[in-house]
Amino acid sequence: MIWIDTSFAVEWLCGTERASQVNLPRGPLGLLSMQYAEVYVFFLRKGMDHKSIAGQLDFLELGFPEKIHLQLAAQLYIEARVDVKNKASLADALLAAVAYERKEKIIAFDRDFSSLGFEEEEGIWHSIP
Protein backbone atom coordinates (compact mmCIF):
# COMPACT_ATOMS: atom_id res chain seq x y z
CA MET A 1 0.00 0.00 0.00
CA ILE A 2 1.13 3.52 -0.76
CA TRP A 3 -0.60 6.07 1.45
CA ILE A 4 -1.64 9.49 0.19
CA ASP A 5 -1.35 12.45 2.53
CA THR A 6 -3.82 15.33 2.49
CA SER A 7 -1.18 17.70 1.11
CA PHE A 8 -0.83 15.60 -2.02
CA ALA A 9 -4.49 14.52 -2.31
CA VAL A 10 -5.77 18.10 -2.44
CA GLU A 11 -3.33 19.16 -5.15
CA TRP A 12 -3.90 15.93 -7.06
CA LEU A 13 -7.67 16.43 -7.05
CA CYS A 14 -7.24 20.09 -8.05
CA GLY A 15 -4.97 19.03 -10.91
CA THR A 16 -1.99 21.20 -9.97
CA GLU A 17 1.21 21.19 -11.97
CA ARG A 18 3.20 20.01 -8.95
CA ALA A 19 0.92 17.01 -8.40
CA SER A 20 1.05 16.07 -12.08
CA GLN A 21 4.84 15.85 -11.88
CA VAL A 22 4.77 13.11 -9.23
CA ASN A 23 5.37 9.72 -10.76
CA LEU A 24 2.87 7.54 -8.89
CA PRO A 25 4.38 4.17 -8.03
CA ARG A 26 2.60 1.01 -9.08
CA GLY A 27 0.51 -0.69 -6.48
CA PRO A 28 -2.59 0.03 -4.47
CA LEU A 29 -3.12 3.58 -3.22
CA GLY A 30 -4.83 4.33 0.06
CA LEU A 31 -6.08 7.16 2.19
CA LEU A 32 -6.45 6.89 5.95
CA SER A 33 -9.82 7.87 7.36
CA MET A 34 -8.28 10.98 8.98
CA GLN A 35 -6.79 12.20 5.70
CA TYR A 36 -10.07 11.47 3.92
CA ALA A 37 -11.84 13.74 6.40
CA GLU A 38 -9.20 16.47 5.95
CA VAL A 39 -9.55 16.36 2.16
CA TYR A 40 -13.33 16.53 2.43
CA VAL A 41 -13.12 19.49 4.83
CA PHE A 42 -10.83 21.34 2.41
CA PHE A 43 -13.35 21.12 -0.42
CA LEU A 44 -16.34 21.91 1.83
CA ARG A 45 -14.60 25.08 3.06
CA LYS A 46 -13.89 26.13 -0.51
CA GLY A 47 -17.55 25.61 -1.44
CA MET A 48 -16.46 23.17 -4.14
CA ASP A 49 -18.40 20.14 -5.35
CA HIS A 50 -17.54 17.79 -2.51
CA LYS A 51 -19.75 14.99 -3.87
CA SER A 52 -17.67 14.90 -7.03
CA ILE A 53 -14.53 14.81 -4.90
CA ALA A 54 -15.91 11.92 -2.84
CA GLY A 55 -16.55 10.04 -6.08
CA GLN A 56 -12.96 10.61 -7.19
CA LEU A 57 -11.69 9.22 -3.88
CA ASP A 58 -13.74 6.02 -4.22
CA PHE A 59 -10.99 4.17 -6.07
CA LEU A 60 -8.59 4.60 -3.14
CA GLU A 61 -8.55 2.05 -0.38
CA LEU A 62 -9.79 3.61 2.84
CA GLY A 63 -7.63 2.64 5.82
CA PHE A 64 -8.48 2.67 9.48
CA PRO A 65 -5.70 2.79 12.08
CA GLU A 66 -5.48 0.20 14.81
CA LYS A 67 -4.73 0.86 18.49
CA ILE A 68 -1.03 0.17 17.95
CA HIS A 69 -0.97 2.90 15.28
CA LEU A 70 -2.74 5.36 17.56
CA GLN A 71 -0.22 4.69 20.33
CA LEU A 72 2.77 5.03 18.00
CA ALA A 73 1.27 8.20 16.47
CA ALA A 74 0.99 9.79 19.92
CA GLN A 75 4.63 8.96 20.62
CA LEU A 76 5.82 10.27 17.23
CA TYR A 77 3.79 13.45 17.65
CA ILE A 78 5.19 14.20 21.12
CA GLU A 79 8.77 13.51 19.98
CA ALA A 80 8.39 15.66 16.86
CA ARG A 81 6.81 18.57 18.71
CA VAL A 82 9.66 18.84 21.24
CA ASP A 83 10.99 21.34 18.70
CA VAL A 84 8.44 24.16 18.94
CA LYS A 85 9.20 25.16 15.34
CA ASN A 86 7.97 21.78 14.11
CA LYS A 87 4.45 21.90 12.70
CA ALA A 88 3.81 18.15 12.31
CA SER A 89 0.14 17.48 12.97
CA LEU A 90 -1.37 14.55 14.81
CA ALA A 91 -2.90 13.47 11.48
CA ASP A 92 0.60 13.42 9.94
CA ALA A 93 1.88 11.42 12.90
CA LEU A 94 -0.95 8.91 12.49
CA LEU A 95 -0.18 8.43 8.81
CA ALA A 96 3.52 8.10 9.61
CA ALA A 97 2.76 5.49 12.29
CA VAL A 98 0.69 3.35 9.93
CA ALA A 99 3.27 3.56 7.14
CA TYR A 100 6.15 2.87 9.51
CA GLU A 101 4.56 -0.13 11.19
CA ARG A 102 3.48 -1.66 7.87
CA LYS A 103 6.75 -0.73 6.09
CA GLU A 104 4.81 1.24 3.47
CA LYS A 105 5.38 4.57 1.72
CA ILE A 106 3.66 7.95 1.77
CA ILE A 107 3.06 10.40 -1.06
CA ALA A 108 3.08 13.89 0.41
CA PHE A 109 4.13 17.46 -0.19
CA ASP A 110 4.21 17.98 3.57
CA ARG A 111 7.82 18.50 4.72
CA ASP A 112 6.84 17.69 8.31
CA PHE A 113 7.29 13.98 7.65
CA SER A 114 11.04 14.50 8.02
CA SER A 115 10.49 15.18 11.74
CA LEU A 116 8.47 11.96 11.98
CA GLY A 117 11.31 9.66 10.90
CA PHE A 118 10.85 9.73 7.12
CA GLU A 119 12.98 10.86 4.24
CA GLU A 120 11.75 12.05 0.87
CA GLU A 121 12.80 10.98 -2.60
CA GLU A 122 10.93 12.51 -5.55
CA GLY A 123 7.72 13.09 -3.58
CA ILE A 124 7.69 9.64 -1.98
CA TRP A 125 8.43 9.37 1.72
CA HIS A 126 10.16 6.28 3.15
CA SER A 127 10.71 5.54 6.82
CA ILE A 128 14.31 5.78 7.95
CA PRO A 129 15.48 2.35 9.12
Taking only the tens place, the pLDDT of each residue in 87-120 is: 899 999 999 999 999 999 999 998 899 999 999 9
Half-sphere exposure of 4 (CA within 13 A, CB side): 25
Domain hosting 22: range is 2-127
Instruction: Assess whether pLDDT exceeds 90 at residue 50.
Output: no
Taking only the tens place, the pLDDT of each residue in 66-95 is: 999 999 999 999 999 888 788 899 999 999
CA–CA separation, 77 vs 7, rounded Å?
18
- Total of domains in the chain: 1
Please answer whether residues 109 and 8 qualify as being in contact, where contact means their C-beta atoms are separated by less than 8 angstroms.
yes
* Nearest by Cα to 25 from 40, 44, 42, 3: 3
Dihedral pair phi/psi, residue 68, rounded to 5°: -60, -35
In DSSP terms, 62 is beta-bridged to 31
Whole-number pLDDT of residue 123:
81
For residue 87, give the CATH number of its domain: 3.40.50.1010
The mean pLDDT of the chain is 92
